Structure 1
């Protein structure tokens, strides 16, 4: 194609990917006028006009309206700004469609009614402030008349969903399910009942105290990970590395109650870890385990899915017997 060569409307249409009627329409509304008319009065287009026609076709396929295209061609905006603005529109539409897909999937799964459809649409359309409010209201309700150590419910409240700005369909579906649950008085009462039963005994109340919770979720977790790293590295439980790690863990754990780490205490802790697999098997067959899975466990599982932190717990992957042997062994440091 030569810069000086002129092409009839049929060629211009074919080269730009438009129909002849579309090229004629754009000329009639003054968007892309022909470069010249030939002796017979037919419209002729040079390569620059054809390039603009091709640009118009591309932008129209992207959904850009004619007024925006006119502003671009007349210099009222740049192509970069126009495309950036249009990208925002497309991304907003994509988020809307993803939310609708999540609602439809949830409705199909639940065999939902018209009322449920309206509720689910409201749930996915909530602002961050509205989402925060219903979670706070839920935990305020759970904490009413719940006899647990001070600050325990506030710690549970801190484990909350944070729906990202661009959530996946799975995250939206998890949010719909969670928001529906925390709005249900029956679920709130079931969570309160589980927490009351789980932390009513004196020894269980100790697990809900701030020092113990700080240990479980803070220093204790890092010390246990250090111990597990020795196991994954193939260290025998009596090796110097394993012993240093296990002693640090036991010293920190016993310090919570002010108990010295004596050989007898080590034996008791070792025996406790040795029996954990059997205890877990027993719990799996009892109602309390199901109560956790249906109440607080369900809440935590959905929060993890929403936050993108869901991890499958595999109790069989934890080397309880290895840890127990490491705890029982005496190592001269």
Structure 2
């Protein structure tokens, strides 16, 4: 192919991957003009025009509009700027498609009505401010007048969903379910009932207190990880590493109630940990038989969906924790190994 050679419109179409009618259209639209005409009056194209036709074909396949293409070919914009702009458009379309996919999957799974389909579309199209308002409305109603320790509802309110800029389909589906739940009067009433019953008195009120909450979600988290790291490393519960980790944890836990760690307290805590598996089993049975709102269907479901939306790592299954190993490490009176 010579730089100076001219080619009839059929050859230009074949070499650029366009149809003859498309090449003729782009010439008539002033996008890519022919290099000239032959003696018979037929349009002729040089190598430069054919290269521009190839670029036009590529950009049109990317859904770039003709005005943007015209500006590029006339030197009004650069290819880099054009492609950058188009990338932003494609990424926006991708977000819309992910949202639509999430809506469709949810509709198929739930067998929803047209009204619900419209609602789901609105949910995934919300702005960040609108999503914040939905969650605030939920906690304003759930937390109003609850007889729980001061600051507990505010701590719960801070554990809220933050949909990322590029959410996955699973995150969008979780948001649809969560937004639907928090807007439901029955769900709000169930969460309120569960929180009131669980944290308004007795041990639950202690757990909801500021000191315990700070330990549970602050320093205590790191201390628990130290204990579990020793277990996962295959340490004996009486090894120096395990003993140091579990002692630090028990000292922190004791300090929550202003107590000092003594051998007697160690033994009581050890016995408590030995009983945890049986306690969890009884709780599961009671929840299954309960006619009252339970954690897994109320605040637990809220927290589970928030975790999915925020991309948090799944929480460790409480039943899978090494309670017997921890109990042995906690117990006083046994020698510490190497």
What per-residue deviation string (whole Å, max 9, x for no partner) do you get for residues 130-167 of structure 1? Answer: 11111111111111221000000000000000011111
What residue in structure 1 maps to residue 18 of structure 2? 18
* TM-score normalised per structure 1: 0.96
User: Cα 1:123–1:48, aligned 2, differ >3 Å: closer, same or farther?
Assistant: same
What residue in structure 2 maps to residue 174 of structure 1? 174
Q: Within 5 A, what are the aligned runs for 1:142-157? A: 142-157=142-157
What residue in structure 2 maps to residue 321 of structure 1? 324
1:312 deviates by 5.1
1:25 deviates by 1.4
Distance (whole Å) between structure 2 residues aligned to residue 310 and residue 250 of structure 1: 26
Partner-residue secondary structure (3-state), 2:126: coil
1:332 deviates by 7.1
What residue in structure 2 maps to residue 54 of structure 1? 54
Paired residue for 1:291, among 270, 289, 294?
A: 294
What residue in structure 1 maps to residue 104 of structure 2? 104
The answer on whether the counterparts of 2:149 and 2:200 sit within 8 Å (CA) in structure 1 is no
Distance (whole Å) between structure 1 residues aligned to residue 336 and residue 12 of structure 2: 89
Distance (whole Å) between structure 1 residues aligned to residue 319 and residue 178 of structure 2: 29
The answer on whether the counterparts of 1:32 and 1:49 sit within 8 Å (CA) in structure 2 is yes
The answer on whether the counterparts of 1:238 and 1:329 sit within 8 Å (CA) in structure 2 is no
The Cα RMSD (Å) is 1.6
What residue in structure 2 maps to residue 210 of structure 1? 210
Higher deviation after alignment, 261-270 or 96-105? 96-105
What per-residue deviation string (whole Å, max 9, x for no partner) do you get for residues 199-231 of structure 1? Answer: 133222010011100101111110010011111
* TM-score normalised per structure 2: 0.95
Correspondence 1:248 to 2:248: yes
What residue in structure 1 maps to residue 93 of structure 2? 93
The answer on whether the counterparts of 2:191 and 2:293 sit within 8 Å (CA) in structure 1 is no
What residue in structure 2 maps to residue 3 of structure 1? 3
1:271 deviates by 0.3
Distance (whole Å) between structure 2 residues aligned to residue 260 and residue 28 of structure 1: 90
What residue in structure 2 maps to residue 311 of structure 1? 314
Distance (whole Å) between structure 1 residues aligned to residue 315 and residue 143 of structure 2: 28
Distance (whole Å) between structure 1 residues aligned to residue 236 and residue 101 of structure 2: 51
What residue in structure 2 maps to residue 199 of structure 1? 199
1:11 deviates by 1.1
Distance (whole Å) between structure 2 residues aligned to residue 252 and residue 312 of structure 1: 22
Distance (whole Å) between structure 2 residues aligned to residue 302 and residue 146 of structure 1: 23
1:123 deviates by 1.0
1:90 deviates by 1.4
Correspondence 1:278 to 2:281: no
Partner-residue secondary structure (3-state), 2:294: helix
The answer on whether the counterparts of 2:270 and 2:328 sit within 8 Å (CA) in structure 1 is yes
1:313 deviates by 3.4
Partner-residue secondary structure (3-state), 2:63: coil
What residue in structure 2 maps to residue 118 of structure 1? 118
The answer on whether the counterparts of 2:193 and 2:293 sit within 8 Å (CA) in structure 1 is no
Paired residue for 1:300, among 296, 300, 303?
A: 303
Distance (whole Å) between structure 2 residues aligned to residue 57 and residue 138 of structure 1: 52
What residue in structure 2 maps to residue 190 of structure 1? 190
Distance (whole Å) between structure 2 residues aligned to residue 217 and residue 240 of structure 1: 26
Higher deviation after alignment, 314-323 or 191-200? 314-323
User: Cα 1:268–1:73, aligned 2, differ >3 Å: closer, same or farther?
Assistant: same
What per-residue deviation string (whole Å, max 9, x for no partner) do you get for residues 113-142 of structure 1? Answer: 121122111111111111111111111111
Mark the runs of 5 or more structure 2 residues left unpaired by the alignment.
none
The answer on whether the counterparts of 2:239 and 2:336 sit within 8 Å (CA) in structure 1 is no
